Structure 1
C-alpha cells in the first residue's frame, strides 16, 4: 500500500539535508545497525547520508515486501528473543501485539535523544505508541488520515453533488452518508454506493471511544452498544443494496476499481495510490476527494519504529530512529513513497501543502490530509487480538450478510467468534 514516487530527483537534496542538519553524535567505534522494514518506507536515499555523517557506523536495511509475513516473523522472533533488528518497524494494525510485550522493547522516552519531545508528533500518534505502563515503545512514522473518495461521473449521473465543497454536507455524518447512498442506489437503478461492508464498519468502529477490547483486554461486544449500533447501520445499508460486496485489495476489489463497481470509498492518504494503480489511466480525472469524513476524522494505517531490548546498541538505534522520523525525513519519505507525515512541523511545509494530485482532478491532496489528520481525536485502545477480531470474525460475518445472511444471526456468530478469541 505504499506507492513509490519521484525518488531520484530528491537524492541530492537529501544529501544536502544530512550535511546541514542531520549531524548527531558520532560513533566512537565501528558498529552495524540493522533496520527492518516492510513495504516502502522511503529510507533508501536517507541511510547513506546518515552513514556519511556518522563515521564508523554502518546501517543495513532488511526490507520485506509484504507486511503480513513481516509481522508474523517479528512476533516469532520476539517469542524466541533472537535475530531481532536494532530498529524494527511495526505497522499500526499490529502495534497492539507489540505493546503487549513492552518489556521486550527499550523505552524511547528514556534512551532517545533529549530534544525529541512528544510535541514533535500529532498528540494521538504519539500516544498510540505508548504501552499501558507508559513506556514509549515506538517513534511514529507515517499516518493514514481518512477522507472520502468518490466517482464524480457516477454522482453526477445520479443527480447528486459532485464538487468537493458540496459533497461535504453529504459526507458530514454516517446518517447523511447512508441516506445519500440510499438515493444513489435508487437513482442509479441498483448500482452500489460503496465497495465493502467490512471497510465501512472498520472505519466506524475505529472512531469509537472504545472498540472491541477494553484496557483489561476483555471483549466489549456484549456491553458496547455503539458496536451493535454500527453493525445495524452498516447491515441495513447492505440490505438496501449499497454494498458491492467486494474484498478490498483482492482481485474482485481491484476489478471493482477498474470497472467502476461502486461510487464511494473510504480513503486514507495512502489509498490514493492504490486507486490510481488499480483503476488505471482510463479512469483518470473521474475520481475526486474531499476533506470530509462522516462524523469527523479517523486514521487507518501508519507505522512506528521500535528498538528491541535485545539490541546491543540501543542508544545508537534510538538516535537513528529519531532521525528517520524527524520532520525533514518524513517529508522526504512522502516525496518518494507517498507516506503521509505524522510530524506537526511537516504540516506547514510548502511542499506538502502544494502537493497536487492530477489523477484526482488536480486536488490539493496535501491540504486535504493535513486537515483530516488534525481532526483525529484520542487514539482508541487496541489490545492484542484486535486485528484478529476484524480479520477472522467481523469481515467474514459481514461478507455473509452481503451474500444474503440474516444480520441478527450473523451478529450472534460474531459474539461467538470473539468469545473464542478473547475472554
Structure 2
C-alpha cells in the first residue's frame, strides 16, 4: 500500500509532506472521480493529473522525456496505436510484475490485452485500461430509404464479410446516390488490424508489400471509385459535421465510437443510429490504452499500486459509466452493471452486453513493429485520402509503399 505520509519533503512530495504522484493521460479516461476516491482512501497521497487533449502530443512529449532521461510522470498512459514505439523502448519502463502488487497477475485482463504489453523476455510493462472491440454502427432510417434491412438482427448478414459489406454499399449508393461510409482510412485501418501482424513482421522487417494489405487496398479503393466514400478526413471539422449532415450511412464502430457519434450527430438523430453485434471478418479491436511506470519515477512501487488500483475491475466499471471506456478486465466483462448497460441514443440497445460479446471474438493482439503507428497515421491514411481526391489507386499504393519504406529506415 502507498505510505500514508512522508516524514520529510523530498522528490515527489508536496509542501505539506504528502506523497505526490503524477499521472499523465490524454482524451478521456474517466479517472477524475477515481483520483479523489484514491486520495480519500490514502490521505498521505496527492495525485497530480497531467491531461493532454489528444493522444499524439501526449506521446510525443513522453518520447521526448524518455530520451532526455527526465520529466516523465510517475504513471504514463500509453495508447494502443503508440504501443509498438513504447515496446521498442521497454527498457525505460518498470516490469510491473516485479514492482506491482503481488496479487495483480496478467490474467486480470483478456489474454490478448496483456500479451500485447509483455516483452519477449516476459516483462509486463503496462496494466490494461480500456479496449475498443469492434461492431458496426449504421443509420437505420437511411437503410430504410434504400430498401435495406433496418433492425440489428436483420442487418447482420450485410456485415458478415467485407465482400458483403461492400456489396451492400453498392446497393445503397445505387438506391439513394449517397456515400456508404465516412472515409477510406476508417475502413482500411480495421481491415488491416484484423491480420496477425501489422506493417512489420515479427522480426521487425517492413511487410506492407507481403502482408495482404495490397488486396485490402484494392477492395477499399474500389469502393471509393464506386462512390461509397464520403471522403471525409477523420476528426476534422468536416468529418464531425458529417454525422449531423447524414453524410454517410455506416461507421466502423469500436465501443468508444458510440460517444463520438452521439456527440457529433446531436440529439436530433437520437434513435436513428443503431449498432449491431457484427463486424466483417468476425471481429477486431481498435484502440484502448495501458498505464505504465517509467523508470524515471521516484516512487515506482507507489505508482504501480495506483496504476493497479485504477485498472482493477471495480474502478474500470466506474470509468466506463463515467466516460464509456470499455473495460479489458475479465471480471469486469461479466459484471451485471456492464452487461445491463443500455444506450437510449442507440434505441435502447444493451451496449455493454453487445461489446462484451464482440470483445470475446478477438483471438489475439496484432503484432506491430516500431513505426507501425506512424505508418498508419502519417503514410497510409494520407495515401488513401489522395486516392479519394483523384489520385489513381495504383499511384496511391506506390505513395503508401514508398512512404512506409522511408518511415521504416
Shorter-chain TM-score above 0.5: yes
Q: Equivalent residue for 1:295?
A: 281
Q: Equivalent residue for 2:92?
A: 104
Describe the SS at the equivalent of 2:405: helix
Q: Equivalent residue for 1:196?
A: 183
Q: How many residues align?
A: 398
Q: CA deviation at 1:302?
A: 1.0
What's the CA shift string for 1:92-141, capped at 9, x where partnerless?
A: 11111111101100001111111111211011111111233332111000
TM-score (norm 2): 0.94
**Is this contact kept in 2: 1:116–1:322, CA < 8 A?**
yes
Matches within 5 A, 1:286-365: 286-365=272-351
Matches within 5 A, 1:127-206: 127-188=115-176, 190-206=177-193
Q: CA deviation at 1:152?
A: 0.4
**Is this contact kept in 2: 1:26–1:55, CA < 8 A?**
no
Q: Equivalent residue for 1:7?
A: none
Matches within 5 A, 1:410-421: 410-421=396-407
Describe the SS at the equivalent of 1:59: strand
Describe the SS at the equivalent of 2:91: helix
What's the CA shift string for 1:153-177, capped at 9, x where partnerless?
A: 1111111111000111110111111
**Is this contact kept in 1: 2:19–2:45, CA < 8 A?**
yes
What's the CA shift string for 1:317-339, capped at 9, x where partnerless?
A: 11111110000000010111111
**Is this contact kept in 2: 1:235–1:401, CA < 8 A?**
yes
Between 1:327-336 and 1:49-58, the stretch displaced more is 49-58
Q: Distance in 2 between matches of 1:255 and 1:42?
A: 25
Describe the SS at the equivalent of 1:165: coil
**Is this contact kept in 2: 1:33–1:317, CA < 8 A?**
yes
Describe the SS at the equivalent of 2:32: coil
Q: Equivalent residue for 2:224?
A: 238
Describe the SS at the equivalent of 2:72: coil
Q: Equivalent residue for 2:392?
A: 406
- Is 1:126 the counterpart of 2:133? The answer is no
Q: Equivalent residue for 1:397?
A: 383
Q: CA deviation at 1:312?
A: 1.7
Q: Equivalent residue for 2:11?
A: none
**Is this contact kept in 1: 2:136–2:279, CA < 8 A?**
yes
Counterpart among 45, 52, 61 of residue 64 in structure 1 = 52
Q: Distance in 2 between matches of 1:322 and 1:41?
A: 15
Q: CA deviation at 1:60?
A: 1.8
Q: CA deviation at 1:26?
A: 4.2
Q: CA deviation at 1:25?
A: 5.5
**Is this contact kept in 1: 2:198–2:369, CA < 8 A?**
no
Q: Equivalent residue for 1:115?
A: 103
- Is 1:283 the counterpart of 2:293? The answer is no
Q: CA deviation at 1:67?
A: 2.1
**Is this contact kept in 2: 1:145–1:269, CA < 8 A?**
yes
Q: CA deviation at 1:238?
A: 0.9
Q: Distance in 2 between matches of 1:63 and 1:246?
A: 28
Q: Distance in 2 between matches of 1:398 and 1:131?
A: 33
Between 1:208-217 and 1:94-103, the stretch displaced more is 208-217
**Is this contact kept in 2: 1:141–1:303, CA < 8 A?**
yes
Describe the SS at the equivalent of 1:183: helix
**Is this contact kept in 2: 1:26–1:53, CA < 8 A?**
no
**Gap runs ≥5 in structure 1:** 1-23
Q: Equivalent residue for 2:12?
A: none
Counterpart among 173, 196, 202 of residue 215 in structure 1 = 202
Q: Equivalent residue for 1:14?
A: none
Q: Distance in 2 between matches of 1:32 and 1:228?
A: 50
**Is this contact kept in 1: 2:277–2:357, CA < 8 A?**
yes
Q: Equivalent residue for 1:9?
A: none
Q: CA deviation at 1:200?
A: 0.4
Q: CA deviation at 1:185?
A: 0.9
